[in-house]
Amino acid sequence: MNIADLPNFGPKSQQMLALAGIVTIEQLRELGAVRAYVKVKRVGNVSLNLLWAMEGALSGQHWQQVAKHERLRLLLELEDVETGISQEMQASQVTLGRLDFGSGAVAKVFDSYPPRIRIKLLTLRELIYQIAAETEGVGALAETLKWGEPAYLTINKSGSTIRLGWKKSAPAQYALYFHCQTNLIETFRTLFHREFKFEGNRAIVFNEADEVPMDSLAFCIAAALTYHRDKSAARKGCK
């Protein structure tokens, strides 16, 4: 069932939910009204009436009844959720640690991301650096911008560029991009078709709520960082 089948929602509310990646009743029910409201707030200005409407839709009440009888409970829960997000962001600053960006321009791009997406992309950034340090023959990375997005290049030319991405048009998604003229995505799709979602021949795409299979993703990053080295070794082996 779609959101449009629920009471309390007009076209504008449905559009805002869709922009936040909430298009089915199951998605709304899994998040709950408060967390869904927090997601929608990240993509646009909304009033508390939307929170009352979502709670009413899930509990079978008119939104005005929710506003009258459930207001305090929902506001307290909203405060708890938003406080938890703030603490998560602060913890991520401590645990990620590697925030010496390649340039002020790169730092500015990270600052422009919505808070929850920024955490996700900083986690991927840290994993890229970790795999580079642990993988023989990769060496140091250069951090720069490609197409206005953070990108990571092996200075010794051992690998192919990896780029992080987020689009305002799909605010609940983020992506790890690989060079489209390599066979990397084709390989990943063969190996990890159950673990990942792909965009054409260039990206692994994640939803904000996804639990990322880090071991599989580490394999993909290592393959990209050693792509040219391994191709060169394969050519030499054929001679």
Rounded to an integer, the average pLDDT of 73-78 is 87
Q: Are 169 and 155 in contact (CB under 8 A)?
A: no
- Mean pLDDT value across the chain: 84
pLDDT at 232: 52
Rounded to an integer, the average pLDDT of 187-197 is 94
pLDDT at 84: 67
Confidence of residue 230 (pLDDT cuts 50, 70, 90): low
Confidence of residue 235 (pLDDT cuts 50, 70, 90): very low
- Structural domains in the chain, sorted by start: 3-80 (1.10.150.20), 100-238 (3.90.1150.200)
Rounded to an integer, the average pLDDT of 74-92 is 68
Confidence of residue 88 (pLDDT cuts 50, 70, 90): low
- The per-residue pLDDT for range 22-36, each reduced to its tens digit, is 888 888 999 899 988
State yes or no: pLDDT of 44 exceeds 80: no
Confidence of residue 231 (pLDDT cuts 50, 70, 90): low
pLDDT at 85: 53
Instruction: Write the CB contacts of 160 (distance below 8 Å, at least 6 apart in sequence).
Output: 178, 179, 182, 184, 224, 225, 227, 228
pLDDT at 144: 94
Q: Are 114 and 124 in contact (CB under 8 A)?
A: no
- The per-residue pLDDT for range 118-158, each reduced to its tens digit, is 888 988 998 999 899 888 889 899 999 999 999 999 999 98
State yes or no: pLDDT of 234 exceeds 70: no
Q: Report the C-alpha gap between 226 and 137 in whole angstroms.
A: 8
